Each structure stands twice: as C-alpha cells, then as structure tokens.
Amino acid sequence: MFLSQDVDLRMHSKAKATIRDVAAHAGVSRAAVSKVLRRAPGVSAEMHRRVTAAISELQYRPQVAARSLRGRSQTLGVLSPQEAGPLATSIITSFARALDATPYDFLVRPVPDTADHQLEAAWSLVDHGMEGLVLADISLTEDQLESLARRVPVVLVGRASRSDLLDSFSVDDVAAARLQLDHLVALGHTRIAWLSPAVSGDRHPAALLERVCAGSAVFAHPAGLGDDGGYRAACELLAQPQPPTAIVTCTDVMALGVLRAARDVGVDVPGQLSVVGAGDSSIAAHPLIALSSVSAHDASNADDVLGALLDRVAGRTTAIHVQWRPRMVARRSSAPPLSR
C-alpha cells in the first residue's frame, strides 16, 4: 500500500497534478479544494489541513493561463512609491511569506511620487487582470480611488478613507504628532520646528499643530519630501539667528536629510539639535543612526492588510477602516537641549 502510494505521488508529480488529483488524494470534492484555494468561508480546519497537505505532497500548481481564460488571474497588485516606506516594505515582505499558503501570486509596481504616474500605474495593474490592489502611501484622490474600487477590490494603506467602496488602514496622525512633540517637550525643548510637505485637509501641518499643541513653541516649516527636502529645510532653519533646538519630520527619510544638514553646518546631534522622525524604519534603528522615531507598524499590520484584501476578493462588500495607534521609540538623536 505504501509503495503504490509513493508511485502514485511520483506519477502525479511528473504529470503535473490537477485539482482532481488533489481532491482524490485529500478525500474531498473538487469544490472543496476550490474553496480552500479561494480562501472561501465555510472551510473547516481539518479540510484545510487535508487539502493543503495534498497540494504540498502532489506539488500542485494552479494553471495561471487557464485561470486567466476563465477571468481569474489569482494575482494581486501592490502599488507603492519607488522609495517605499517601512510600512509598504513590511506589506511586500508579508505578501511574499503569507501568499505561499494560497494560490495567489502578487506583482509589485513601484511608481514615482506623482498622482498622474500613480493613477496610470494603478489602471495598468487593473488592465493586466489583478484581482485586487493594495495601494500603499499613494496620493490619489478619493474619486480616483473609488473609480478603481468599482473595478477591483482596493485596500488603501497609509491614508485614511471614509469610502464605502474600499478598505483603509492608516496611522492616527494626530496621535503620532502628539507623541513626537510630547517627547521633545518633556526633554525641555521650547523651539521645535515641524517639517512637513504641503498637504490638504486635516493632515496639513497647521491643522495638526492646532489640534496637537496650541499655544506651545512649535512652528511648521515647509519642506519637500525625501532626504533632499529634509536637508534643504534644515539648512534654512539652522541658518536662522535663533535656530530650533529640535526638528520633527513626517518620515525617517526626511530626518536623515536633517541629520546630514546638521553634520554639514557643524551642529551637534543631539547636543545642539534633537531630531525625531516617523516610520521607525530599519535605518532609524541602525546603531550608527539611532534616530528617535514614532512607529505605527508591526508584524500584524501587514497580515491585517492581506487578510482584508483576500476577504474583499472573496466577496466581502462592507468597508472596514482601521487607524493604527503609534508608539514613540526614543533613541540617541533626541536629548535635553543645552542651556543657553
């Protein structure tokens, strides 16, 4: 019996096992195998175990071309900026790990940080048959997002949405800003510059400042995105007669630009200037950088995003909108200001 089963497994492997083979090996129907592959509801733990074991033993691989002819590519798209932040990077890593247990593949499309390029890339993914999209740190308008969501399931990451047509996972910006500023105020800083790109609505620096720290000695200073944006803004601030004793940024990459500017103009960090970033990237945690940063991501965040997208693909239509609570991670780049 064991010999015949081994021979049977080898024959299946050489002949490219089919869904019928998987069903027979697991002792279930083809419909049951299909439900497991689609992560459909109503699958018992025992059925899932038997089917996944059969898939592994028979080395079953769904035929992508055949699925496409039936209108199912079983491919998910991830759209993120070319300089992906830690959250987008975490999602991509999670997809690579978690999708091994499903029939789905995924395609990552890095795009420039401009709305026109992002919209074109998103529709290109739709036109290439993606069954769902994760849009991470993308700056499309609500109308553009809903147009996409009418065609395929969409999960927006890094920005809040109130749309009933898509899911969103975002950071509580007010809580994050309050953590950054409270950390610096507790250290004794009274001249704090907040670098942020010009954005609209409640995320505009002035709006956040009003909600977080009205009356305190914090001021917004315009800055471009990325390392260069942080560098130029910091050079301007540090050239002032009364420069700030601390600078807060909305990304860790901008904070790296601030650190570079401080080095170039001979300002000691953290002795003369404290710097706090956002995102808690791997670079921020590097011992040679040791950047204080506010974090809102952990291993479960990316799993939540993937689960939401697969649920959408499986037919869920009720929208979910989640705000992640951030936490402050203090490192060497922030300290009490020198007495003046």
Helix (H) or strand (E) holding 321: strand 321-324
AA identity, residue 136: A
Q: What percent of the chain has pLDDT over 70?
A: 81
For residue 340, pLDDT over 50 is answered with no
Give me the residues paired with residue 294 across strands: 278, 328
Q: Residue 7: pLDDT band by 50, 70, 90 thresholds?
A: very low
Q: Residue 244: pLDDT band by 50, 70, 90 thresholds?
A: very high
Q: Dump pLDDT digits (tens) for 65-75.
A: 444 444 467 88
103-115 average pLDDT score: 81
* C-alpha dist (Å) from residue 160 to 79, 136, 145, 173: 16, 11, 12, 10
More confident residue, 289 or 297: 289
Residue holding tokens 């026109």? 116
Q: Dump pLDDT digits (tens) for 201-210.
A: 444 455 555 5
Q: Residue 268: pLDDT band by 50, 70, 90 thresholds?
A: very high
Helix (H) or strand (E) holding 105: strand 105-111
Q: What percent of the chain has pLDDT over 90?
A: 35
273 closest CA partner among 306, 301, 238: 238
275-285 average pLDDT score: 89
Check whether the bond before 62 is cis (ω within 30° of 0): no
CA dihedral of residues 21, 22, 24, 27 (deg, nearest 10)? 180
d(CA 145, CA 126): 12
The alpha carbon of 257 is separated from its chain's Cα centroid by a whole number of angstroms, namely 22
pLDDT of residue 302: 78
pLDDT of residue 277: 93
pLDDT of residue 2: 34
Q: Residue 96: pLDDT band by 50, 70, 90 thresholds?
A: confident
Q: Dump pLDDT digits (tens) for 135-181.
A: 988 888 999 999 999 999 999 998 889 999 999 998 888 888 889 98
Give me the residues paired with residue 277 across strands: 293
Mean of all residue pLDDT scores within the chain = 81
Helix orientation angle between 226-238 and 252-265, rounded to the nearest 10 degrees: 40
Torsion 241-246-250-256 (CA) sign: positive
Q: Dump pLDDT digits (tens) for 114-139.
A: 778 888 899 988 888 899 999 988 88
Q: What are phi and psi of 330, to 5 degrees?
A: -85, 135
The structure's pTM equals 0.66
pLDDT of residue 85: 64
Q: What are phi and psi of 143, to 5 degrees?
A: -65, -40
